[in-house]
Amino acid sequence: MNLTFKFVPFNELNGLTSEKKINRLLEFVKKDKIVLLQGRLKPSEEAWLIQKTMEQQAANKGFKGIELFTIPASRNEKIFSQMRAVVARVLLGSRDELTLIGPGTIIKEIKSNPDRSELLTTVRG
């Protein structure tokens, strides 16, 4: 089995309703792709994604759910850069982060600490 990543730029989801964003992301995950989303979902959208995933798991026994992880922007920004970033996020949305969303059948574990993040996968043969 190949390990496939799907990069979803911020602009691809910008302007869509929350429901359409969630449905588009789930389409990719159901095709066994690990989604690299530029930016992050709103907390309410993350909760809705998890809820929809649980509903689909109950309806489709072959769907094993998702793993979700957001890699935050650098924690070492200077104060001026942080202020500029806050203004940009308010105006443009959060694009500095990267969100990983993948099928639970492929993503085994995500480990994170302040220095690094690790994505452990299971490759079926």
Give the DSSP letter string of 54-90: HHHHHH-TT---EEEEEEPPPTT--HHHHHHHHHHHH
Q: Which residue has the higher pLDDT, 113 or 62?
A: 62
pLDDT at 78 over 60: no
pLDDT given for residue 76 in this prediction = 45
Tokens 């095709």: give the residue.
Answer: 31
**pTM (2 d.p.):** 0.67
pLDDT given for residue 124 in this prediction = 59
DSSP per-residue string spanning 87-117: HHHHHH---S-EEEEEETTTEEEEEE-SS-E
pLDDT given for residue 103 in this prediction = 79
Task: Give SS3 for 71.
Answer: strand
pLDDT single digits (tens) 24-65: 999 999 888 889 898 889 999 999 999 999 888 888 877 788
pLDDT at 91 over 60: no
Any idea where the domains of the chain sit in the sequence?
4-121
pLDDT single digits (tens) 8-29: 988 899 899 999 999 999 999 9
Q: How far apart are CA 71 and CA 109, in angstroms?
A: 15
pLDDT given for residue 96 in this prediction = 63
